[in-house]
Structure 1
Amino acid sequence: MKSTLALLLAGSAAFLTAAFRPAETPKIQAPHIPFEGMLIGDLPVVLQASFKKDTFNLAKYGAVADGQTLNTEAFRKAIEACAVGGGTVLVPRGLWLTGPVVLKNNVNLHLATGALVQFTADRSQYPLIKTTWEGEDAIRSQAPLSGVDLTNIGITGNGTFDGAGDAWRPVKKNKLNETQWQKLVASGGVLNDKKDYWYPSAASLKGNQLAAAGKPRKSLNPADFDDIRDFLRPNMLSLTRCKQVLLEGFTIQNSPAWTIHPLLCENITVRNVTARNPWYGQNTDAIDLESCRNGLVEGCTFDVGDDGLCIKSGRDEEGRKRGVPTENFIIRDCKVYHAHGGFVIGSEMSGGVRNMYVSNCTFIGTDVGLRFKTARGRGGVVENVFVDGVDMTDIAGEAVLFDMYYAAKDPVPLAGESMAPPVIAAQPLNEGTPQFKGFQIRNITCKGATTGILVRGLPEMSIKDISIENAVLESKKGLLCQEAENIRLKNVTLLSTETMPVMEVQNSRNISLDGIRYANGADLLLRVTGDRSKDIRLTNTNTKLAKKDVQLGDKLAKKTVTVAQR
């Protein structure tokens, strides 16, 4: 008989939608076919939300579905009435204009098919509050849809939330064609001095200029931000310290900033949710799971202006002080269209990330496919990440990216054919030194990317223990591996098209390249540079298809690379 966790991992909808279990539900360990042979961890059961059958129709609390009447008070009354004993607040078909909506315990906000909740573009309706922004405490405008310190809540149904994000977001001229730009300028707002950036208001422009100049306001007093309030874009759906959360079925679009942001939440189920934002919308991540534990994300479709499926845990010192990792999540059967990254960890991961299981996902047209990013100063440990079954096409950058230089100048320009290793000075290890270790990725394909695999660690902290198995990656460049340790590629096809090494290894050690396939006639199969490179093994690979098999950098002994012909 299958265990409870095996049923969960195998996709038993009946199990996942059952009434929530009591908090003392034991953790149960079991294998699962997509991750067979891997450390499945000790994943707990995801506790489910459950609601009484009592229904509270929004229209009975004075709401008018004419797209003109502001229904903020009607939403408040309906939710408060429902919260007394628990149940469902029903939003019928129609266009419901409203200001911020605040959830309560034991309430399921259900959007009927055809229901459109339109959040007002009147920015004054969203008061300034103390919250977080990109992993740090901050003053921002109140989220259109929010809940704090709640238990047993839901947002369900087939309706749509629209966040009026165009009233908040600045737009670069080069993101639009000329007709779109002229229409935007004619709509109001202000331009910067160069006339290449549009802002919704003078307050928005002022706030953005202060941020660009490196002069952000550090106060946590809302009154200190009145003159730049329009700059303080809210996340659209913000849930903080909530437990037993169900998000299912709805469409959420046109967000001012991050779209779905659970922070310090537990037992989260996100199922069949669609998030849509303009591709030029800055900071409009689809979902950011920050310092959350125990959850399932499945069957979702995302098409946004920033990262798609994103895992975070706080930024720099504040994130380390909070010390709460995002952990124990299953993410499966999701599609990501336009986004900066398909599945992303970071860069704000200072509290750590662990026990992530990703399977059967499709990324179409994202900038990067699997994107793991951090930087010096972040700190935090990312470990035990398992990926099985990801298919990608039309990827602008890297299909698979491990990068410890996020938001920094590229330390490795690789100009021309120079074999000189990049000059990257090591820094002392400290609490701000991040770590990536323990990734297992298999059964992935990519048709079209700039780089197949990029692994780029720090001189003082290599990226460790990465396994990539059974992959077919079509890209301009194949593999670039820098400052890494214990990296294993097995049965990986690198169909690179540029006349450069199919694989480049720099200052890395214990690298296993087993069963590598590549295009016939490649100029060079493997180049190894860097005086710290050692124990590079090329096995079960037909090296005769390349004009030259191995090229070593200066001062590297021949024994640095072992080639075993099959």
Structure 2
Amino acid sequence: MKIKSTNLLIALTLLLSFWSFNVKAQKAKATSFYPNLEFKMSKVQEPVIPKNSVNIKDFGAVNGGYVLNTKAFADAIDAVAKKGGGKVIIPPGIWLTGPIILKSNIELHAETGALIKFSTDKSLYPIIETSFEGLNTWRCISPIYGKNLENVAFTGNGVWDGSGEAWRQVKKSKLTDDQWKKFVASGGVLNDKKDSWYPSEQYLKGSKGADQNVRLDLKTKEQFEEIHDFLRPAMVSIQNSKRVLFDGPVFQNSPSWNLHPLMIEDLIVRNVTVRNPWYSQNGDGLDVESCKNVLIENSSFDVGDDAICIKSGKDKDGRDRGIACENIIVRNNIVYHGHGGVTVGSEMSGGVKNLHVSNCTFMGTDVGLRFKSTRGRGGIVENIFISDIFMTDIPSQAISFDLYYGGKSIAETLAEGGTPVKNKMMAVNDETPQFKNISIRNVTIAGAYQAVFLQGLPEMNLENIEISNLTAKAENGFSIIDANGIKISNIKLDIKKPTVFEIYNGKNMSFKDVEFESTSEKAISINGEVSQNIQFVSTPTSDFAKKTSIGENVPKGAVKF
């Protein structure tokens, strides 16, 4: 018995040693793939596609854009799926089709010269239970749709076109006179003010009473069917799946969002072009929602709303889902027009953590780095690392944190007077959003309305945000409101307005190696009765004490030089 016990002990010891070695090896492996990353992240896995291949022409597909090829696409996918998966080749040509339903182990390869054009016949898109704008609802099925899949890829250099012009509302203010006349002449209906065009009377009916494009008052499928035209889908919707790749194609002209990966583990988006008309309502580029292990690189975006968006559900539906968006690398991308270059929120109720953004260029983008939420969302956004960002001609705020997001673009908000400063404190609960532990460094802003806007909530301040090595030319400098633990260092500012820093209810803040030209006595303006421990380190050429205006309600000794 003693020998057996000894042998058992040795075996257990060896087993534990082996297990410990494996754990250490896995940890080492988790950091070895992305050595310069600020957090541990294993390599994003690519889909594994069998070597089989078929061509849609072999299943009766007709080139020209006048014959509906829905069945040919479905038959080609079924044929290769029966072999265990493989590549579906879409050759050069114009291929009209209805919805394409994806299956596991499938690669859709659109060759150079291929244009896949989705039909404008809305009856081809039945409504299904899904998630849209972070909420559980009914929506028309997406032109490209898949759920509960493994190993899905979009490759080649062809073009996927969602025929979004047949689905979207258009505002007159966003069009030239000639464009507006063409929309009106094409059919559809106008609203009472004659300043917005709708594709149909049914769409206009559906839009009334909608909360940011979702009808919260409707409950049954039958009720949603009555506003079918209003329920415009994302162009590509892939849900609850593993190992999804977008590599090479152009995705354009979507009914609403363009690419919407939802609850994907191991997602790669690279070498793609995503574009929509700049006037396209809710024409987001890429909305990564509740995904884990994500790589977004070497791509370009030119869209009608936010370009690269990180999300995790909205309000109670998002909190009930409880799936964060985590382990995300965004690098080497270009954004042209868009409401935000890289955006977090506002649907972030499941949380966002471990996000790395680097070497991205924003040219003429409404906002460069955009963080947004509001009371009611809940969720925590944390461990965000942003570096080497280059921006030119930003019409509004280059860097923006807004915890009072109301559904409008920043340009629209500014036109209405800006985001108000509110000092009414609410109770903290699971509906209170939180943004913390964020590093932004090595940023160049060559032209903007405002360099940096940081606004938290009185009851939940923005917390631990570091901005360093920033050079900015802008009309306005920094606005910092309800923020705690802000560190600003090595900043060079060319600001047109005499007031460069506006601080309201700031706590535990430090400003070091900050340069600006304003000689105004109010170059730095500090207000707020809960302000505390705000420190400025003057430079040899600038005595900040002589350039600072401190409000009467600021506690004595709260500001130090």
CA distance in 1 between counterparts of 2:271 and 2:281 reads: 24
1:354 partner SS: strand
Q: 1:456 to 1:215 in 2, by over 3 A?
A: closer
CA distance in 1 between counterparts of 2:258 and 2:164 reads: 10
Residues 441-520 of structure 1 aligned to structure 2 (within 5 Å): 441-499=440-498, 501-520=499-518
Name the counterpart of 1:334: 333
Q: Give, in angstroms, the shift of residue 423 of structure 1.
A: 4.9
Name the counterpart of 1:354: 353
Do the aligned residues in 2 keep the contact of 1:475 with 1:496 (CA within 8 Å)?
A: yes
Deviates more, 1:421-430 or 1:484-493: 421-430
Q: Give, in angstroms, the shift of residue 529 of structure 1.
A: 0.8
1:328 partner SS: strand
Name the counterpart of 2:19: none
Alignment-mate amino acid for residue 522 of structure 2: L
Name the counterpart of 1:47: 45
Name the counterpart of 1:29: 31
CA distance in 1 between counterparts of 2:327 and 2:542 reads: 45
Name the counterpart of 1:16: none
Alignment-mate amino acid for residue 281 of structure 1: S
Do the aligned residues in 1 keep the contact of 2:538 with 2:544 (CA within 8 Å)?
A: no
1:82 partner SS: helix
CA distance in 2 between counterparts of 1:145 and 1:422 reads: 43
CA distance in 2 between counterparts of 1:34 and 1:346 reads: 26
Alignment-mate amino acid for residue 461 of structure 1: M
Q: Determine whether 1:560 maps to 2:554.
A: no
Alignment-mate amino acid for residue 303 of structure 2: V
2:542 partner SS: helix
2:317 partner SS: helix
Name the counterpart of 1:63: 61
CA distance in 2 between counterparts of 1:218 and 1:46 reads: 40
Name the counterpart of 1:427: 426
Name the counterpart of 2:160: 161
Q: 1:408 to 1:339 in 2, by over 3 A?
A: closer
Residues 103-118 of structure 1 aligned to structure 2 (within 5 Å): 103-118=102-117
2:173 partner SS: helix
User: CA-atom RMSD, angstroms?
Assistant: 2.3
CA distance in 1 between counterparts of 2:168 and 2:370 reads: 25
CA distance in 1 between counterparts of 2:32 and 2:421 reads: 45
Name the counterpart of 2:221: 222
Q: Determine whether 1:90 maps to 2:89.
A: yes
Alignment-mate amino acid for residue 72 of structure 2: A
Do the aligned residues in 2 keep the contact of 1:478 with 1:494 (CA within 8 Å)?
A: yes
CA distance in 1 between counterparts of 2:214 and 2:293 reads: 37
1:499-520 deviations in Å (ceiling 9; x for gaps):
3x21111111111111001125
Alignment-mate amino acid for residue 480 of structure 1: S
1:223-246 deviations in Å (ceiling 9; x for gaps):
222221100000000000110111
Do the aligned residues in 1 keep the contact of 2:520 with 2:547 (CA within 8 Å)?
A: no
Deviates more, 1:218-227 or 1:301-310: 218-227
| TM-score normalised to structure 1 length | 0.90
Q: 1:548 to 1:269 in 2, by over 3 A?
A: same
Residues 381-400 of structure 1 aligned to structure 2 (within 5 Å): 381-400=380-399
1:390-413 deviations in Å (ceiling 9; x for gaps):
100111111111111111899x99
Alignment-mate amino acid for residue 69 of structure 1: V
Q: Give, in angstroms, the shift of residue 524 of structure 1.
A: 2.9
2:318 partner SS: helix
Residues 369-388 of structure 1 aligned to structure 2 (within 5 Å): 369-388=368-387
Q: Give, in angstroms, the shift of residue 366 of structure 1.
A: 1.1
Any unmatched runs of 5+ in structure 1? 1-23
Q: Give, in angstroms, the shift of residue 380 of structure 1.
A: 0.2
CA distance in 1 between counterparts of 2:326 and 2:34 reads: 18
CA distance in 2 between counterparts of 1:347 and 1:449 reads: 23
CA distance in 2 between counterparts of 1:250 and 1:147 reads: 18
Q: 1:406 to 1:281 in 2, by over 3 A?
A: same
Do the aligned residues in 1 keep the contact of 2:363 with 2:392 (CA within 8 Å)?
A: yes
CA distance in 2 between counterparts of 1:522 and 1:93 reads: 63
CA distance in 2 between counterparts of 1:158 and 1:250 reads: 4
Do the aligned residues in 1 keep the contact of 2:212 with 2:407 (CA within 8 Å)?
A: no
Residues 48-447 of structure 1 aligned to structure 2 (within 5 Å): 48-84=46-82, 85-211=84-210, 216-219=215-218, 221-407=220-406, 422-447=421-446
Alignment-mate amino acid for residue 558 of structure 2: T
1:78 partner SS: helix
1:193-245 deviations in Å (ceiling 9; x for gaps):
22111100110111012327999354454322222110000000000011011
2:179 partner SS: helix
CA distance in 1 between counterparts of 2:140 and 2:283 reads: 15
1:347-406 deviations in Å (ceiling 9; x for gaps):
000000000000000011111110000100000000000001110011111111111111
2:208 partner SS: helix
Alignment-mate amino acid for residue 175 of structure 1: K
Q: Give, in angstroms, the shift of residue 559 of structure 1.
A: 2.4
CA distance in 2 between counterparts of 1:368 and 1:374 reads: 15
Alignment-mate amino acid for residue 331 of structure 2: R
CA distance in 1 between counterparts of 2:367 and 2:376 reads: 23
Name the counterpart of 2:533: 535
Identity, in percent, stands at 46
Deviates more, 1:481-490 or 1:219-228: 219-228
Q: 1:250 to 1:277 in 2, by over 3 A?
A: same
Name the counterpart of 1:13: none
CA distance in 2 between counterparts of 1:284 and 1:451 reads: 24
2:557 partner SS: helix
Deviates more, 1:221-230 or 1:297-306: 221-230
1:264 partner SS: strand
CA distance in 2 between counterparts of 1:155 and 1:332 reads: 20
2:341 partner SS: strand
Do the aligned residues in 2 keep the contact of 1:25 with 1:45 (CA within 8 Å)?
A: no
Do the aligned residues in 1 keep the contact of 2:203 with 2:230 (CA within 8 Å)?
A: yes
CA distance in 1 between counterparts of 2:197 and 2:521 reads: 48
CA distance in 2 between counterparts of 1:361 and 1:323 reads: 30
CA distance in 2 between counterparts of 1:208 and 1:353 reads: 30
1:166 partner SS: helix
Aligned length: 529
Q: 1:313 to 1:554 in 2, by over 3 A?
A: same
Alignment-mate amino acid for residue 528 of structure 2: G
Higher alpha-carbon Rg: 2
Do the aligned residues in 1 keep the contact of 2:34 with 2:43 (CA within 8 Å)?
A: no
CA distance in 2 between counterparts of 1:288 and 1:365 reads: 20
1:243-275 deviations in Å (ceiling 9; x for gaps):
011110000000000000000111001111111
Q: 1:490 to 1:108 in 2, by over 3 A?
A: same
CA distance in 1 between counterparts of 2:193 and 2:440 reads: 45
